Amino acid sequence: MILIRNARVLTMEDDKVIQGGEILMDGGKIVDVGSALSAPGAQVVDARGMYALPGVVDAHCHIGMFEDGMGFEGDDGNEATDPLTPQLRALDAINPMDRCFSEALSCGVTCAATGPGSANVIGGQFLAMKTNGHDLEQMVIQEPLAMKAAFGENPKRVYSGKHQAPETRMATAAILRNALMEAREYLKKKEQGGDKAPDFDLKKEMLSKVLTRELLLKCHAHRADDILTAIRIAKEFNLRISLEHCTEGYLIADALKRANVPCILGPLLSDRSKIELRNMSFKAPGILHKAGVRFALMTDHPVIPMQYLMVEAGICAREGLDEMEALRAVTLNAAWAIGLDGRLGSLKPGKDADVALYDGHPMDTRTRVKQVYVNGQLAYED
């Protein structure tokens, strides 16, 4: 049992700062948050002068799949040989020994949603994992977490070079629709059983989980038209989706508000490396927040190294986003966007005891993370 005392506690459940706050952790969970807590026998950590926040959550990245400083040997995020690869599992590609995990942890990031890139129309399965440890099976929180789909420039670029579909946005949408229709027919025959039971098909089996809403469909879409196509297909098949990147989402904020689906913005701390990023702006999060659109921020690691997720949040606050909302975008809203807000993202009794202690305001670039607790155990100390 560990009791953190004398901290400036930001629970992320509201906008309040608990001055001289306390956090009690036991059995890997948060037991209580408040002031003057009773905890006989607890190990006491004096966090005087520090800020205490829930562990930061990166809702979309590729950590462990595009390994740091490895080149081709560590590049395992895109199986660009078939536009439809729903059977692929991030679990089989992640190297938990990638040093980027420890770098992220040292900056307060305790959870990452990581998975395949966007070369394919359907790229494969994401998972959610803690950043502490070297045993992948113990680090995983949920697997599979989601299925990855991609619209726009990336599938076009990859497959036009191979002289096969999709070479256009029309083909990308058609390939996705056809795959979902075939999976729906497969699921129907499977439920009927008997003579109509289909032969086992791993691709259709995994896409069936998208159709039944068991799996979130993470839809890579930068341009406004691609965002709207993703929303359109989600309505056609009654899918549970999130909009990944959503670069031009601020240009169609009303449509996003009506769609009422999670948006995971970013990476914003990068160059405009391709045409569909031409309208990228740090003002987008502030505009979406004012429009009533709930969103998270991402790094898309290694595009932005994961340890700079809080820096990205800070720049968004500088450019008009409410400060507390910027913090939520990398904590509670990020956990919500991947369906894990029941476990992560805020300091609340019953949630995972993932806590970071900062020696200054978390979004000040001069601030250092002094301690990080994962599942109630000290995982990093400066």
Other C-beta atoms closer than 10 Å to the C-beta of 181 total 14
A 10 A CB-CB count for 83 gives 23
pLDDT for position 195: 85
How large is the angle between the packed helices 153-160 and 169-192, nearest 10 degrees? 100
Contact 276, 251 (CB under 8 A): no
What's the distance, Cα to Cα, between the start and end of the chain in Å? 21
Bridge partners for 57 per DSSP: 111
Q: 381, exposed or middle or buried, with CB in 10 Å at 0-12, 13-18, 19+? A: exposed
Q: To which residue do tokens 């205490």 refer?
A: 52
Which residues, 6+ apart, have CB-to-CB distance to 259 below 8 Å?
231
pTM over 0.75: yes
Report pLDDT for 70: 85
Q: What is the pLDDT of residue 64?
A: 97
Note the pLDDT of residue 74. Answer: 87
The whole-number pLDDT of residue 71 equals 87
Over residues 193-233, the pLDDT tens digits come to 888 899 999 999 999 999 999 999 999 999 999 999 999 99
Decide the pairing of beta strands 295-297 and 355-358.
Answer: unpaired
129 alpha-carbon distance from chain centroid: 10
The per-residue pLDDT for 217 is: 98
pLDDT values of the chain reduced to their tens digit, one per residue, 382 residues? 999 999 999 999 999 999 999 999 999 999 999 999 989 999 999 999 999 999 999 999 999 999 988 888 889 999 999 999 999 999 999 999 999 999 999 999 999 999 999 999 999 999 999 999 999 999 999 999 999 999 999 999 999 999 999 999 999 999 999 999 999 999 999 999 888 899 999 999 999 999 999 999 999 999 999 999 999 999 999 999 999 999 999 999 999 999 999 999 999 999 999 999 999 999 999 999 999 999 999 999 999 999 999 999 999 999 999 999 999 999 999 999 999 999 999 999 999 999 999 999 999 999 999 999 999 999 999 9
Rounded CA-CA distance 25/9 in Å is 14
Work out the angle at residue 70's Cα, subtended by the Cα atoms of residues 148 and 369, and round it to the nearest 5 degrees: 75
Cβ contacts of 103 within 8 Å, gap of 6 or more: 305, 306, 307
Cβ burial of 323 (10 Å; 0-12, 13-18, 19+) is middle
